[in-house]
């Protein structure tokens, strides 16, 4: 379960969220819009992130952790693929890039964003929780650092199509991991989860 927690933590970041959050003005500027419009669109990104985080809080115990992760990851993969194709074809007309970045942000905020923290708190046995969570969180922030450090280089050197397709591939890999490795913890006490997961 230690490795499962690490994978949950790492894939929450290498699917690109902080690269898009940190460098949204740079991404929008690549589409040829003015810097003022880029800043306004970045504000929209932050607003959508806030609103859909509350959606996750509202439904995490109703639908469960795993369904939210699956739905969010699919939404992220689809929007990233559309963004990659848009950059590849240089089709930036209308609000295509903005709309699919907002769909990506909404998908993340309603799933991976909050669910990651809930899961890595629930899947470890009580006697090891603090140590195991610490390891997972170190991997999470190390992944954030590496992805945020390399994204501007990838974007400027290879273009938005390559950058977004890389993140889309990470989403697809993560979807397989969710389906095969991530347990559902909804409606179970920490003690019950400990018995089930240690037995598995």
Q: What is the pLDDT along the chain (200 residues), one digit of tens a residue?
A: 788 899 999 999 999 999 888 888 788 777 776 666 767 787 888 899 999 999 998 988 888 899 999 999 999 999 999 999 998 988 766 578 889 999 999 999 999 999 999 989 888 888 888 899 999 999 999 999 999 999 999 988 998 899 999 999 999 999 999 999 888 877 776 667 666 666 55
- Cβ density class 53-78: b for 16+ within 10 Å, e for less: beebeeebeeebbbbbbbebbebbbb
For residue 66 the two structure tokens come to: 């795993």
With contact defined as beta carbons under 8 Å apart, do 56 and 68 qualify? yes
Write down the CATH number for the domain with range 2-199. Answer: 1.20.1250.20
CA-to-CA separations, 194 to 96, 131, 179, in angstroms, rounded: 46, 15, 20
Angle at 52 between CA 152 and CA 180, to 5 degrees: 75
pLDDT value of residue 162: 94
Counting Cβ atoms within 10 Å, is residue 24 exposed (0-12), middle (13-18) or buried (19+)?
A: buried
Contacts of 83 (CB under 8 A, 6+ apart): 97, 100, 101, 104, 160, 164
Question: Which residue is it, tokens 């006490």?
Answer: 189
Residue 194's pLDDT is what? 66
* Alpha-carbon dihedral 53, 54, 58, 61, rounded to 10 degrees: 30
What's the DSSP call for residue 191? H
**CA separation for the pair 147, 141 (Å, rounded):** 10
| pLDDT attached to residue 173 | 97
Q: How far apart are the first and last CA of the chain?
A: 9
């Amino acid at each position: 379960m230690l490795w499962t927690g690490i994978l949950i933590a790492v894939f929450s970041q290498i699917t690109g969220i902080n690269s898009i959050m940190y460098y949204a003005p740079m991404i929008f500027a690549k589409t040829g819009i003015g810097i003022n419009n880029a800043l306004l669109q970045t504000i929209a990104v932050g607003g959508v992130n806030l609103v859909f985080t509350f959606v996750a809080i509202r439904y995490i115990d109703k639908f469960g952790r795993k369904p939210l992760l699956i739905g969010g990851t699919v939404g992220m993969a689809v929007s990233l693929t559309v963004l990659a194709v848009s950059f590849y074809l240089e089709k930036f007309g209308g609000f295509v890039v903005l709309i699919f970045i907002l769909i990506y942000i909404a998908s993340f905020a309603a799933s991976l964003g909050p669910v990651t923290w809930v899961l890595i708190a629930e899947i470890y046995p009580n006697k090891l929780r603090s140590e195991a969570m610490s390891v997972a969180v170190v991997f999470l922030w190390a992944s954030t650092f590496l992805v945020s450090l390399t994204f501007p280089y990838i974007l400027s050197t290879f273009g938005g199509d390559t950058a977004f397709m890389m993140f889309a591939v990470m989403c697809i890999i993560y979807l397989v991991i969710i389906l095969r490795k991530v347990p559902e913890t909804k409606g179970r006490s920490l003690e019950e989860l400990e018995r089930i997961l240690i037995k598995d």
